[in-house]
Structure 1
Amino acid sequence: MTSLNRRSGPAQWMNLGAIAVLAIAFIYLFFWPGPEGLPLVKIGLPQRAVVLEANIAGLNTTDIESTLRPGTEVKVSIKNSALIPLTLKSIERVPGTVVATQPNGNVAPQPDPRPEMRFGSNLLLKLEGKGYSNQSGFFLGVKRIRVGSTVVIDSAGVETPASVVGVVVEPLSKS
């Protein structure tokens, strides 16, 4: 063997080792389920329609109808993930109430009398989009979505946190 072959022999094994490490890292990153239970590449998982019901408490605005309209696209971020486009299906105002003691000793909900509550809105939004599901739950993007999750709703005029109060997923069709 010449001196050139002796020097290039170990280098070839090191190159093959580096290529193997990169291949394993690539497979782990894209195909191995992450902490949320869903790999970045969703091979074989059918997309399903997902309807999220999200509650926004105390959104301070006087005219929510001009900024959020049914049928428009809003973007949702789950746990600081990338923005996921969803369609706003409906907006329902939830009246702000306080518990008031009645003269007979019972309690009953009454409209909130505080003047600052004229500007506050409690809203129930229905958002529709596409997601995935597996044995560990339902996913929008690569983040699991479930009741109680906090999401950030971002549209042209509003960026506000909301709490997920309902997740409805269309059933898989038997074909």
Structure 2
Amino acid sequence: MKKILDSQGRLLGKLSILDVGAAIVILLVIVGIFFFPGTSGSVAQLGVATRPVEVDVVVRGLSIRNPQELIKQFQTKKKTNIIIRNQPYGQVDIKAVKELPRTVVVPQPDGSVKALPDPRKDTFSTDMVITLTGKAQITNNGPVLGNNKIKVGMPIELEGFDYDFNSSVIDVRIKS
């Protein structure tokens, strides 16, 4: 009768104990991944109310040759794609677009400062506030679009056929 383990550490003289151990570890990992995947990590929850939300985003210093053309495009198409934390959400509606006046801070002789209209005309830079609307899940921690919470200060990327720029959330309103 043969020994189960020979002097070189082989089972029945054919298989190494290390190879058998590695195969068992790989098999356990595969079983763990496919049969017990765990939670998805989503902040969205089942049974959570979905309500319309309006999100105001501000765009500061957008380098563009003709801002009026982009604003006109927003007003005619009324849709844009958004990306939140590098995760594409999809399309949302554009409710309103407002170009903000460019101002410069000018010190006054008495030590105070005033914001006056920027005298430079060809700066190729514009500021605007865009109101986006969509449906969000309302959780205890606030509204959630896709799998991302929407809160003031959060960066959102707007993307369309011929534009792609970042903005920042300045207001979130939950509609009834």
Using structure 2 for the length normalisation, give the TM-score: 0.73
Runs of at least 5 residues in structure 2 that lack an aligned partner in the other structure = 1-26
1:24 aligns with 2:27: no
1:143 aligns with 2:148: yes
C-alpha distance after superposition, 1:46-75 (max 9, x if no partner): 221011100001122213233322661101
Q: Is the 8 A contact 2:55 2:171 kept in 1?
A: yes
Cα distance change, pair 102–20 in 1 and its aligned pair in 2 (3 A): closer
Q: Is the 8 A contact 2:143 2:149 kept in 1?
A: yes
What letter is aligned with 2:127? Answer: N
1:1-175 to 2 correspondences below 5 Å: 22-25=34-37, 27-29=38-40, 34=41, 38-39=43-44, 42-61=45-64, 62=66, 63=68, 64-69=70-75, 72-117=78-123, 119-171=124-176
Cα distance change, pair 97–143 in 1 and its aligned pair in 2 (3 A): same
Q: Could you tell me how far apart the structure 1 residues matched to 2:80 and 2:125 are?
A: 21
Q: Could you tell me how far apart the structure 2 residues matched to 1:132 and 1:23 are?
A: 30
Q: Could you tell me how far apart the structure 2 residues matched to 1:18 and 1:98 are?
A: 62
Count of residue pairs the alignment pairs up: 147
Q: Specify the SS of the correspondent of 2:161.
A: coil
- Equivalent position of 1:6 in the other structure: none
What letter is aligned with 1:106? Answer: S
Q: Could you tell me how far apart the structure 2 residues matched to 1:88 and 1:133 are?
A: 21
Q: Could you tell me how far apart the structure 2 residues matched to 1:21 and 1:84 are?
A: 29
Using structure 1 for the length normalisation, give the TM-score: 0.73
Q: Could you tell me how far apart the structure 2 residues matched to 1:85 and 1:144 are?
A: 16
Q: Is the 8 A contact 2:138 2:144 kept in 1?
A: yes
The structure whose residues are more often helix, as a share, is 1
User: What RMSD in Å do the two structures reach over aligned CA positions?
Assistant: 2.5
Cα distance change, pair 103–154 in 1 and its aligned pair in 2 (3 A): same
Q: Could you tell me how far apart the structure 1 residues matched to 2:31 and 2:47 are?
A: 27
Runs of at least 5 residues in structure 1 that lack an aligned partner in the other structure = 1-14
